Structures are given as C-alpha cells and as structure tokens.
Amino acid sequence: MRLIDHLKHLDLSNSEAKRAMRGGKVFLHGVPTADAGRDIQPFQVEYKPDAPKLTPGRDLIILHKDPHFVVIWKPAGMLSVRAGKVDGHLNVVGLVGKLTRGEALAVHRLDQDTSGLMMVARTITGQQALKDQLEVHSVERCYVALVLGKTMEKTWTVTNNLVEDRGDGLRGSIDGKPPHNAKRARTHFSQLQRVGRRVNMVEARLETGRTHQVRIHLSEAGLPILGDKRYGSASSVRLAERLSLHAAVLGFDHPVTGERMRFTAGLPDDMEQTRRSLVHAHQNPDRKRVKSKIPKKRRR
C-alpha cells in the first residue's frame, strides 16, 4: 500500500495528507516522511496531528532518550560534531545538547552526507561504556548503500589496511606491507536488491569503523556509491544528488543496565525516491528518468 492511500484511509483528504507529511506529522518507523508514493505496511506508520512541526529529511529526530544517552536520526548534510569556529556549523552533538538541555558527548560519527542512526552520550560514564563496546566490535552497525556496478557474489567480506593517503591524496588501501600508521578495516557486504540495469542496493555490516570505510571498500571493489563525489566515478556521481549511504541499524548494550538495544531506520525519502526512479527507468526505458526532489540543505 502506498503511504498516501493509507492516509486517505484515515479520512484525510489528499491536501490534508500532503500538508501533514510536509509538516512532519507522519512517521515511518519513528522518522517523519513526506514521500507519499512509498510502499508501507499500515502498522509501520503513525499519524500524529499534534506533533511539533518538523521538516522531513532536514531536521534531526530523537528516537530514544534516557539519562545516559540518546539515539538520533541524522539527516544528510548535518555534521556529527562541531567543526571550525565555536559558533560554526550546526552539528548533531551540539544540537542534542540544546534539545535535551544537558551535556552531550560524542561516541562515534557519521559522514556529513550520510543519513541515519547515531548515539550520543549524556554522561561521561555512558560515553566510556559505549566507546568500550565499539573498541571490542560488539556494536551492531549496518549501512545500506546504492552502488553503481554488478556485485559478483551475494555476500562477501573486505579486509585490508587503510591509510590516510594511498598515493592520490585520498584515504584507501595500499599494496604490500602496511606502514605503522595503517589501520585494519573489515566490512561484511551482502546484496539486497537489483535496482534497475546498472545499480544495486547493498548492505554493509561494520566490524571495524574507520573513516570512510564503507565508501572506500565499495569504491575499490568497483562499486562506487551513487552521489559520492570523493570516491565515486563521474557516472555514479550523476545518478544521485547526495551520497546514497544510510546508517540503517544500530545495536548495542545499554551502558548501565546491560540490556541489549536495537534500532532500525528505513531508507530516507531521497534515497527511496532515487531507488524507485531507477527501477522505473529500467522498466520504462523510453521514458526520461526524473531525479528525486531532495530538500535543500540547511544554511549554516
């Protein structure tokens, strides 16, 4: 069932449904969505007419909050931590501190143009406990990416050593004996879906969490992520307005109680629209593909 049809079944008119979606009143798995055409199951959707006004795809969403940490949904285009001047760019950690009116401490990061799930600590104890789990690789971190190219296997694993400059000014792997500053990186991949003629949707499960790890491993495997201006190709960059990488699963032990917690977040509106557009273009090759409408990035 399409989302718009479900909202009509809730006795919303077409204009009321669209207005509700634009205002952040319609939630899919706890995250506001304005993508009327996406396929959903009714139990996945909540309509909250009294919810505070939000802009889907632009505003940060707090999915869980307790005295020790929060789990948030980060929009693409937002920094994870402060960069540059003290009063510089809007960032996740700074915004969490404002929204919760308390301390906010970094635990891990997502690239600026990556969307999805992040945890932010609210106490020193919580921060250390969560970082300890990252060190022993007990945190479940799963990404979904749209990539250009054909996957050779249904599942595969990449293990190598990454350096800050592989010889062309970019992070990446190098042949031969790794230097002392190289960092071991390991990612487990699986193919999720063929998207049109040349694009695949893949899952990446992190064992380690190095800077740009998923982007590098896919690019060096000949599967650049759509919209990746740093590691992609001219063809892959043209197929999406932004980096098509989304942190979809985050699982870890509660830093105080030890309870296992797991959060999931479906594809954001822009990636889902890109996916549908590519499928449609493949099924209707004589019709021109229409790029998804991506919300403009917030000015900083």
Cα torsion 285, 240, 246, 213 to 10°: value is 110
The letter for the amino acid at 75 is P
Name the nearest CA neighbour of 215 among 225, 205, 207. 225
Give, in degrees to the nearest 5, the angle at Cα 33 between 32 and 38: 150
Distance between CA 8 and CA 42 in Å, rounded?
12
Give me the residue label for tokens 């293990």: 159
List 35, 111, 113, 270, catalytic entry:
111
CB contact burial 103-115 (16+ within 10 A = b; e otherwise)? ebbbbbbbbbbbb
Give the list of residues 6+ apart from residue 56 with CB closer than 8 angstroms, or none: 21, 22, 24, 31, 32, 33, 34, 35, 269, 295
**With DSSP H G I counted as helix, E B as strand and the rest as coil, what are the percentages for the chain, rounded to 5?**
25, 30, 50
50 is catalytic: no
Query: What's the gap between Cα 180 and its chain centre?
Result: 31
Catalytic residues: 111
